[in-house]
Structure 1
Amino acid sequence: MIQRFKASLAITLAIILSFTAVFAGPKDTYASTVAVEAKSAILVDAETGKVLFEKEADLTLPPASMTKMMTEYLVLEAIDEGKISWDTTTQISQYAFDISANPEYSGVGLKLNKDYTVRELYEAMAVNSDNATTIALAELLAGTEGEFVKMMNEKAKEMGLPDYEFVNSSGLNNSHLDGNHPEGTEPDATNLLSARSAALLAYHLINDYPESLEFSGQTTAEIDGQKVTNWNWMIPNMPGSLSQFGYEGVDGLKTGYTDLAGNCFTGTAERSGQRFIAVVMKADSRPSRFRQTAKLFDYGFQQFQRKELFEEGYQIDGESELPVTKGKEDVVELETNDSLSTLVKKGDEENYTIKYNISKDKLDANGKLVAPVEKGQKVGTAELVYSGEDQYDNILSKKTNTVDLVTTSSVEKANWFMLMIGGIGEFFSDIFSGAVDMVKSWF
């Protein structure tokens, strides 16, 4: 978890990064391809986690309502585990009511002493970014928002988010909660995420629970007879003047704004089976956060295409044989058991090669497979290697693109007579070699 002092260092870090940008490595080549007008940004492949673009993606900033992605995840997880259902009902607390009654906090005007279903509360949270319904869901799941915050940070650790600190469920600054900040957090604390962490959180949300997109992709929703509009203006067919921001394929995910956080957005779009996740933090305005996201999506859809680079059964010339001992054959051939594919930038195919990684525990002390060997036996992996100018990190830590490396045929174990003959041959060979070495030592 981010230590609290990191929040105070965020500005210093930003200044340092601005000075070091001149001396930065290959990642800065992105500046010539996508000029993103935001403090921090990232674009990733939603299937593999491959990073296609980043700008100060490790800078920790307040994410505002993008925090709700973690609340959404925990609600969907609880439903999946049978702890609650979409039809489970709950009433809101006085704390949630006070937040809902404040028009500055995206309140839909919830009522006390009324039963609300989880579906109603979740829909208001996902579509309208409602803060009170978010708090109500947190209290339903954990009893108190303070206990829910513990769940949020534990899940973030489990997901492997590199930079995070959750202090409430909604994304508001704790100072806005009128003294109701969750137990165990500071009155002036705020949630913190890096763009990389926000992208990884979004990756888990839409891959583990794709039904989340059924809610985030709605243009409008209704709660208590009140129609509310999605703050994600990039969804196609938004009403009225908002339609100008529509982008084909967008169906999520979460906007965010506070004075401290500025204008943030985690978006996702899918076209022809290819989905991207983009995060923009601290854009200049609400319209700008969508325009910058559109730049990232354009870059992804226009410059990258998923391609099969090496087919199933591929063999590296001169490297696709492995010696065998105690078998009727001395060698066995190797091949890939599946094809290797990735998102490839236009004109970059030639920079991809394959590397064999033979599992040492499959071999004897002399580096040989011991018969019998079965056809299709895994002996290692074949890894896709990129040697071009760009750098492609992965939000899934050190994940590599690999397939199994298997044998193309079986090798039977030699019979006892042949093994004996071979053993005798090795015995006399050792004697001869020893004699030669002894003679050499005389001179």
Structure 2
Amino acid sequence: MYLGGFKVKSIGLDTSGKMIVRGPQKAKGQIMVSGSKNSVLPIMGASLLTDEDIVLKNVPDLADVRTMIEILESAGKEVERYDDELVIKSSGILNSEIPYEPVRKMRASFNVYGPLTIRKGYAKVALPGGCSIGARPVDFHLEGLKKLGIESNIEHGFVTSSLIKPNKEINVSLPFPSVGATEHILTTACLLDGVKTTITNCAIEPEVTDLINFLNEMGARIFGSETSILKIEGVKKLKGIEYTVIPDRIEAGTYIIMGALIGQDLIVKNVTADHLHSLFSIFEKMGSPIDYDSKRREVKISALQLSTLKSISMETAPFPGFPTDLQPQMTTLLSLVSGRSTITETVFKSRFYHIDELNRMGAKIRVEDNTAIIEGVNKLSGAPVEATDLRAAAALLIAGLVAEGETVITNVDHIFRGYEKIQEKMEKIGVDLFYVK
């Protein structure tokens, strides 16, 4: 058993670690938001487009980042880490067959498939895994890549590719503004020398913009950033660069929601307000605007008087809408706001596995179709619960911190995929967590 400051050396998703939380607790002091997990993973994948050195800064130390390092090393890259900096170098050999073991751990790993095909003319990559939050097929990826001249065949759990000469002008229309498909297709199109690609109905999440900025600094020609229509003029070669990854808006939002329940002048640092307009809007709607210092780029928040907050109806949506990755955490907060609130999940309609666990803690929530109907209660009580995915783990941790008594969260290792040094950070703001391997 370990108290606070637990140093994770190597965490996979095959373990069933437990986190023991005794509440209620208070959080006071400063907590720093790390670099964005959902930005750095596709950026790391895009490093396969060049043989020159890539230096990435503000890189979080997460299980998913380590998995991507393993994938890059399988592809022939040499990766060195110095604190929050990654140096990605070429070994002189580029391998386009990626084994099952690392790819199965997370969905973002599949985005190396297109770049490897462009570089080598062939790739073999396992179908990806990740969190259990409903079906997320790679059909959009493969259909878009086919337009770029990449033929794919799925067999025995692997996708194999071959490359044919594409048209000089390509139009790809996404059926849904998928972040992963947008990133995969635009990254792959960058090295189609002399080919003009237009992608419509693109995702416009900040993480997509970060990837575009990274690629353009490498010498790519991508136009239409922050819009739903991207135009890419393929180039022959991309260069190595140094690049700083944006802060993680989901980590920031998680700590802000936590602060609304247990904060005592808690300061959340390294927050980009433009990436969290939808969350700030929800707090305004509830009657408690967020205190954001634009010069310091930080939020100061204390536990809210929950009895004075207004119940709300809201829904998740692609950016700039409310992010699905903050839905479980917001569900925890709304479970303690008097009256009836509703959250409609439009992105991953099966993302309600955390609700049965919150109900075990005394919440009153029912699900009808893709909507959670929340009847606010006065308190939560500690209970044994299970984390089914990364954000569910965060939601249950918040619930355990505000609940009365002891909460034991099993399968909690999911949380290490998205929250860097979470125990160390919690310890610094006075929160005690016990982790049992």
| TM-score, normalised by the number of residues in structure 2 | 0.26
The structure with more helix, counted as a fraction of residues: 1
| TM-score, normalised by the number of residues in structure 1 | 0.26
* Structure exhibiting the larger radius of gyration computed from Cα positions: 1
